[in-house]
A and B are shown apart, each in its own frame.
Chain A
């Protein structure tokens, strides 16, 4: 009972600290609140309480959920410590050129980071959404006053439907396969194209190691891991598409961290759902 009480207190303290810290960060007063000694001490105390709870609790199948989720939380905490101590990471830009291979990249502090093999980006592709247009009363309204009547998107039938202002098909808005910047409707209203939005982008990533070239697709939600290094596609040169921005990390705690999270999820489900017992007859 004392441990439970202690856990409530320590969690409440952590909660209050996070509220204050996050609000301070939001107002630009204190950005690194989560690195403060107070927060670290609170997490250490929380971890100690958690370990004592796990050790003292006698094992039974009924407490399976308790064990799994509490161990999961412990794994997460340990992994975050390991990660903080061992993580190697950097962001860099790399040219889109199948023949330019790099075996090391320079970090922000000037030091070089070696992968143990060579990397390159062979090609890069961006998929865009169908263009969105803004509807204006006239060209004067667009140029001088910028009064937008509405923003119009293409519907699934390939039509830009502006209700009372009329309709226009996507085919009419395209010239040489590209959406035109301006389009004047028969009734004099003007459509002006908005900046096109990315739907997705991917790169063909190459690794030269032990005399052979391996190819892999890098995407926004598709990192690629090779010999402990995990590569992420973060962005690209929007002007000329000459280079892409990559982020790379080497984190030994990466997979155990995920295991800890899944343990917490599964354990919480077991713990919470086992305690709900079916009952009959309405009580009120």
Chain B
């Protein structure tokens, strides 16, 4: 293990522990401590981001390890922005902290390819906005899903949880659409087609369709109660798109195999 790898592991563990402690502190209403811990976690997380950028020499949005680290980095920022805009949703803070912790825990158990060579196709102005939009939307969808599940378990305050989840998804969804369509515009620049029915493309469309069903069903009186099912299905589709599509058979011909 090189010094840099040890350093990366240590700051990752610091970030994970800080996010977890911040989440716990928020639950026990220790606001000041919680904010400090969130800030510590975020700074450590930022260290991972800077380290990835420095080593590779390009914005670190290419490998799974890099993207998972980026997702974590966004939770605290989103928490601050959402709370600033919607003070009535301050109670969501622990969800953002635990949400930030999850991807980083994932990175601890995976090959942290310190150096990742960027394929020529990825050298495009669309690269950062495409991945960033997805990363941002995925981070929010994780929180929305956690809120929905906890709301379902608690039952009593279901309406509040359901509304909060919907607000978060409303912020997430345009970024998801933006990520998908910027990807299509990029595909036309690099491969000559906006859409090639590549498995990753199709599953990103399935995710968008599931969330579209959720938003539309929520506006139909008779469907409102069941609309949460679409949100849950959308989240499962999202996880499948992000993590599982690449392990399917016959995927070798996919244009997204380097992601």
B192 neighbours in A (Cβ, 8 Å): 89, 223, 230, 232, 234, 247, 249
B178 neighbours in A (Cβ, 8 Å): 265, 268-269
Report the minimum CB–CB distance from B152 to chain A (whole Å). Answer: 15
Do B121 and A15 have beta carbons less than 8 Å apart?
no
Task: Decide if A18 is an interface residue (CB 8 Å cutoff).
Answer: yes
Do A18 and B91 have beta carbons less than 8 Å apart?
no
* Chain B residues numbered 208-226 whose CB sits less than 8 Å from any CB in chain A: 209-210, 212-213, 216-217, 219-223
Report the minimum CB–CB distance from B89 to chain A (whole Å). Answer: 7
Interface string of B114-157 (1 = CB under 8 A from A): 11011111011100000000000000000000000000000001
Task: Decide if A178 is an interface residue (CB 8 Å cutoff).
Answer: no
A276 neighbours in B (Cβ, 8 Å): 85-86, 167, 170-171
* Complex CA distance for A7 and B199, rounded to whole angstroms: 24
Task: Decide if A280 is an interface residue (CB 8 Å cutoff).
Answer: yes
Report the minimum CB–CB distance from A43 to chain B (whole Å). Answer: 12
Task: Decide if A197 is an interface residue (CB 8 Å cutoff).
Answer: yes
Do B181 and A264 have beta carbons less than 8 Å apart?
yes
Report the minimum CB–CB distance from B126 to chain A (whole Å). Answer: 8
Interface string of B225-259 (1 = CB under 8 A from A): 00000100000010000000000111100000000
* Complex CA distance for A201 and B249, rounded to whole angstroms: 31
Task: Decide if B7 is an interface residue (CB 8 Å cutoff).
Answer: no
Do B184 and A261 have beta carbons less than 8 Å apart?
yes
Interface string of B167-180 (1 = CB under 8 A from A): 10011011001100
* Complex CA distance for A11 and B230, rounded to whole angstroms: 11
B2 neighbours in A (Cβ, 8 Å): 161-163
Do B121 and A4 have beta carbons less than 8 Å apart?
no
Interface string of A181-203 (1 = CB under 8 A from B): 00000000000000001111100
Do B173 and A268 have beta carbons less than 8 Å apart?
yes
* Chain A residues numbered 8-48 whose CB sits less than 8 Å from any CB in chain B: 8, 11-12, 14-15, 18-19, 21-23, 25-28, 34
From A1, A25, A163, A257, contact of B221 by CB (8 A): A1
* Complex CA distance for A37 and B185, rounded to whole angstroms: 27
Do A282 and B213 have beta carbons less than 8 Å apart?
no
Report the minimum CB–CB distance from B35 to chain A (whole Å). Answer: 15
Task: Decide if B80 is an interface residue (CB 8 Å cutoff).
Answer: no
Do B206 and A265 have beta carbons less than 8 Å apart?
no
* Complex CA distance for A97 and B171, rounded to whole angstroms: 53
Task: Decide if B90 is an interface residue (CB 8 Å cutoff).
Answer: yes
From A14, A223, A247, A281, contact of B209 by CB (8 A): A14
Do B177 and A265 have beta carbons less than 8 Å apart?
yes
From A22, A265, A280, contact of B202 by CB (8 A): A22
Task: Decide if B87 is an interface residue (CB 8 Å cutoff).
Answer: yes
B220 neighbours in A (Cβ, 8 Å): 1, 4-5, 8
Which residue on chain B has the smallest CB distance to residue A80? Answer: B195
From A18, A153, A199, A234, contact of B205 by CB (8 A): A18
Report the minimum CB–CB distance from B79 to chain A (whole Å). Answer: 13
Residue among A26, A156, A232 having the largest count of chain B Cβ atoms under 10 Å: A26
Do B120 and A199 have beta carbons less than 8 Å apart?
yes
B222 neighbours in A (Cβ, 8 Å): 5
* Complex CA distance for A265 and B183, rounded to whole angstroms: 12
Report the minimum CB–CB distance from A79 to chain B (whole Å). Answer: 9
Residue among A15, A162, A269 having the largest count of chain B Cβ atoms under 10 Å: A15
* Complex CA distance for A220 and B255, rounded to whole angstroms: 14
A80 neighbours in B (Cβ, 8 Å): 195
Interface string of A202-224 (1 = CB under 8 A from B): 00000000000000000011110
Task: Decide if A129 is an interface residue (CB 8 Å cutoff).
Answer: yes
Interface string of B1-30 (1 = CB under 8 A from A): 111100000000000000000000000000
Do B1 and A12 have beta carbons less than 8 Å apart?
no
A4 neighbours in B (Cβ, 8 Å): 216, 219-220
Q: Which B residues lie at the A interface, using CB under 8 A?
A: 1-4, 54-55, 57, 85-91, 114-115, 117-121, 123-125, 157, 160, 167, 170-171, 173-174, 177-178, 181-182, 184-186, 188-192, 194-195, 197, 199, 202-203, 205-206, 209-210, 212-213, 216-217, 219-223, 230, 237, 248-251
- Can you report 10 A-B residue pairs in the complex whose CB atoms are below 8 A from each other? A5-B223, A15-B209, A21-B202, A198-B120, A221-B189, A249-B192, A261-B194, A276-B85, A280-B87, A284-B91
